[in-house]
């Protein structure tokens, strides 16, 4: 196989061509970077000469927290804020007592609640406030007042055949309710 001499000729034949290629190798990337930077800076402005998206109000909206936590004072108005037994059961207790999770007696199951009902309302409530077996204190509802928690226990016990009495409203509640 013979090759012609033309096939092995270099593309850059003179020092001047080498200088031009070297200069272009530096200038083309630099110009591309400048153009990209210019595009990024000018594209942040809205069309029509409106204000930039870098206004302090716009920035504050973008970096604002997703949610705010507000901790309400408890006990400020015991009558107005007191939840009933059914409401407390649905929001706190039903997670375990509706399904029997972790050995919790199911809501309305007379056999499972029988031994507990036999202890009496006060003993059952006192044990449950402290926490018993897998149940944490107050069933995990740390924000529940004694009256709210007792109302939930009464609701569950009565659904299983007990004849527990609703707890009296907290002290001072009658006076506030009368106003």
Query: In the numeric block, which tokens belong to residue 71?
Result: 């901790």
Number of structural domains the chain divides into: 2
Residues 87 and 59 in one domain: no
Cα(71)–Cα(86) distance, integer angstroms? 24
Q: Write down the pLDDT at residue 72.
A: 63
Q: What is the pLDDT of residues 123-156, one digit of tens each?
A: 888 888 888 888 888 888 888 888 888 888 888 8
Q: Look up the pTM and report it.
A: 0.51
Residues 86 and 162 in one domain: yes
Do 135 and 100 form a contact (C-beta atoms < 8 A)? Answer: no
Query: In the numeric block, which tokens belong to residue 23?
Result: 């200069």
Which residues contact residue 78 at a Cβ distance below 8 angstroms, ignoring those fewer than 6 apart? 145, 147, 169, 170, 172, 173, 176
Place 30 in a pLDDT band, splitting at 50, 70 and 90.
very high
Domain residue limits at 128 = 78-178
Q: 97: domain CATH number?
A: 1.10.760.10
Segment 55-60 shows an average pLDDT of 82
Residues 91 and 134 in one domain: yes
Evaluate if residue 50 carries a pLDDT over 90: no
Query: In the numeric block, which tokens belong to residue 99?
Result: 């399904």
């Amino acid at each position: 196989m013979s090759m012609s001499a033309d096939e092995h000729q270099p593309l850059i034949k003179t020092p001047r061509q080498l200088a031009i290629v070297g200069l272009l190798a530096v200038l083309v990337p630099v110009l591309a970077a400048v153009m990209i930077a210019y595009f990024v800076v000018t594209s942040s402005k809205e069309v029509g000469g409106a204000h930039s998206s870098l206004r302090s109000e716009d920035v504050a909206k973008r970096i604002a927290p997703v949610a705010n936590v507000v901790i309400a004072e408890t006990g400020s108005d015991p009558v107005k804020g007191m939840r009933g037994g059914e409401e407390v059961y649905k929001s706190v207790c039903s997670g375990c007592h509706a399904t029997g999770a972790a050995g919790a007696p199911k809501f309305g199951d007379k056999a499972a609640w029988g031994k507990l009902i036999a202890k009496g309302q006060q003993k059952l409530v006192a044990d449950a406030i402290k926490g018993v077996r897998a149940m944490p204190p107050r069933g995990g509802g740390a924000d529940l007042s004694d009256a709210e928690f007792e109302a939930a226990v009464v609701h569950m016990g009565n659904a299983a055949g007990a004849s527990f009495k609703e707890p009296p409203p907290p002290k001072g509640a009658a006076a506030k309710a009368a106003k």
